[in-house]
């Protein structure tokens, strides 16, 4: 079951903040976040594990709400380099998806000067 990301697209000015959500209908073990620029490979950002752990990397952080089976990616004081498509990849608790990621449809983030 593919996770659902929202919003589908967001446009920002430099310095503005954004939140991207990833929701699953199945129990989650972990959520992986990637950013992909046009014509390039997806680049790993961070992993969130079940337990409500929150992680951060400079001005990008994320949270994992186990009860809601949802993760959110927070981009603070956005920079032009943040532009790209953000994907969440979910890993589920059932035995068939050990180590296997199912990716959402992506959220297109555009940052303007």
Partner 1 sequence: EAGVAQSPRYKIIEKRQSVAFWCNPISGHATLYWYQQILGQGPKLLIQFQNNGVVDDSQLPKDRFSAERLKGVDSTLKIQPAKLEDSAVYLCASSFTSGRSHEQYFGPGTRLTVT
Strands (E) across the chain are located at 4-6, 9-13, 18-23, 28-36, 43-49, 55-57, 60-65, 70-75, 84-92, 102-103, 107-112
In the complex, the smallest distance separating the C-beta of residue 76 from partner 1, rounded to whole angstroms, is 22
Of 35, 91, 109, 111, the residue at the interface with partner 1 (CB under 8 A) is 91
In the complex, the smallest distance separating the C-beta of residue 79 from partner 1, rounded to whole angstroms, is 22
Residues 54-83 that bind partner 1 (CB under 8 A): none
C-alpha span between 97 and 83 (Å, rounded): 31
Strands (E) across 66-101 are located at 70-75, 84-92
Task: Kindly state whether residue 95 participates in binding partner 1, applying the rule CB under 8 A.
Answer: no
CA distances from 104 to 18, 38, 100 (A): 18, 17, 13
Task: Kindly state whether residue 41 participates in binding partner 1, applying the rule CB under 8 A.
Answer: yes
Task: Kindly state whether residue 51 participates in binding partner 1, applying the rule CB under 8 A.
Answer: no
Choices 12-20, 26-34, 54-62, 65-73 (CB under 8 A): range interacting with partner 1: 26-34
Task: Kindly state whether residue 32 participates in binding partner 1, applying the rule CB under 8 A.
Answer: yes
Asked if residues 71 and 22 have their Cβ atoms less than 8 Å apart, the reply is: yes
Chain contacts with partner 1 (rule: CB under 8 A): 2, 29-30, 32, 34, 40-44, 47, 49, 87, 89, 91, 98-106
């Amino acid at each position: 079951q593919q996770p659902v990301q929202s919003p589908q697209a967001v446009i920002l000015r430099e310095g503005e903040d954004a939140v991207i959500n990833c929701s699953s209908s199945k129990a989650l073990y972990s959520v992986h976040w990637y950013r992909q620029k046009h014509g390039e490979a997806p680049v790993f950002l961070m992993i969130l594990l079940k337990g409500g752990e929150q992680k951060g990397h400079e001005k990008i952080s994320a949270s994992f709400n186990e009860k809601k089976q949802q993760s959110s990616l927070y981009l603070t004081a956005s920079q032009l380099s943040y532009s790209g498509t953000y994907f969440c990849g979910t890993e589920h608790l059932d035995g068939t998806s050990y180590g296997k990621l199912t990716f959402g449809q992506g959220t297109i983030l555009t940052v303007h000067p």
